[in-house]
């Protein structure tokens, strides 16, 4: 797969000769224990931390800072939802009619149409996250980086939010999510997973491949999601053929 952004031999913080590639139009999930370098890596990918000659963007796709959106903390410049979403397009000089169309479309995609006329202070954390995301993707960046976005969300909210990110990926946005909890990876679709520990990649691959190595994940302090942990144990005793993320599917298989 073509790389949208590449880090080569990074020597910074916990990283020693660290290299990673983020494929174009991929959903990449980066997890690891505290101080493993997740947040620092996203800052490097975003260009927030300057590491000359260590990071390479595909110049045909990443042509300016506007092609990269980075979400760490939710900071709003205006009191109303609508103004916060409109502002990036106003700053870029879009005409009002075009702005109205784009606001309508992104509000529908991120399920915030009912929030447009509200004040930020009246929203819950999940609503704020979706509004902030709308303001960061309304101008269709090529690379979207999110640092631990699901920290305060319920399991149902996490599942929906990861689905919204996947929807953005299908629109041509390469998505990179970091998380201190590997649980959230079960809500992603066809994601590439990287597990970091002490500034290095200790595991990588698709979701089920990485989650199957429970001994490694436990060793570095990552707790497996309940259904994954149960599946791994039952698979060891040949009671199930593979990891099953669905409680209902697990019950049906064991019943048979």
In degrees rounded to 5, what are phi and psi of residue 109? -65, -40
pLDDT the model gives residue 209: 85
- Per-residue pLDDT of 66-84, as tens digits, reads 999 999 999 999 999 999 9
pLDDT at site 242 = 60
Tokens of 174: 């390469």
Amino acid 35: pLDDT: 85
Q: Are 95 and 108 in contact (CB under 8 A)?
A: no
Q: Domain coordinates of the chain in residue numbers?
A: 1-62+142-223, 225-256
140, with CB counted inside 10 A (0-12, 13-18, 19+), is middle
CA nearest 23: which of 240, 191, 245, 229?
191
Under CATH, which architecture does the 1-62+142-223 domain have? 3-Layer(aba) Sandwich (3.40)
Alpha carbon 237 to its chain's center: 34
- Residue 222 tokens read as 């990552």
pLDDT in the model for residue 145:
98
**Whole-angstrom distance, CA of residue 143 vs CA of residue 14:** 24
Q: Find tokens 């606001």 and name the residue.
A: 103
Mean pLDDT by 10 residues, the chain (256 residues): 94 95 96 90 94 92 94 95 96 95 97 97 97 97 97 91 95 95 85 94 90 86 72 65 57 62
Tell me what pLDDT residue 103 has. 97
How many Å apart are CA 190 and CA 175, to the nearest integer? 12
Amino acid 182: pLDDT = 86
User: pLDDT tens digit string along 90-133?
Assistant: 999 999 999 999 999 999 999 999 999 999 999 999 999 999 99
Helical (H) or strand (E) element with 178: strand 174-179
């Amino acid at each position: 797969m073509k790389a949208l952004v590449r880090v080569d031999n990074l020597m910074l913080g916990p990283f020693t000769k660290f290299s990673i590639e983020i494929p174009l139009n991929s959903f990449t999930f980066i997890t690891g224990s505290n101080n493993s370098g997740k947040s620092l890596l996203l800052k490097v990918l975003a260009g927030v931390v300057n590491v000359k000659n260590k990071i390479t963007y595909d110049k045909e796709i990443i042509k300016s800072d506007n092609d990269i959106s980075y979400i760490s903390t939710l900071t709003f410049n205006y009191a109303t939802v609508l103004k916060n979403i409109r502002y990036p397009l106003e700053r870029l000089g879009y005409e009002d009619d075009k702005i109205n169309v784009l606001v309508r479309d992104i509000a529908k995609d991120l399920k915030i149409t009912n929030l447009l006329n509200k004040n930020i202070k009246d929203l819950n954390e999940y609503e704020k996250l979706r509004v902030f995301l709308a303001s960061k993707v309304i101008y269709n960046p090529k690379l979207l980086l999110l640092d631990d976005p699901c920290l305060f969300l319920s399991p149902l909210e996490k599942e929906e939010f990861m689905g919204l990110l996947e929807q953005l990926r299908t629109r041509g946005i390469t998505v990179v999510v970091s998380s201190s909890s590997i649980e959230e990876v079960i809500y992603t679709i066809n994601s590439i997973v990287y597990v970091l520990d002490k500034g290095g990649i200790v595991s990588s691959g698709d979701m089920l491949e990485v989650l199957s190595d429970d001994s490694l994940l436990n060793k570095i302090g990552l707790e497996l999601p309940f259904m994954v942990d149960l599946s791994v144990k039952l698979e060891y005793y040949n009671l199930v053929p593979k990891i099953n993320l669905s409680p209902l599917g697990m019950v049906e298989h064991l019943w048979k």
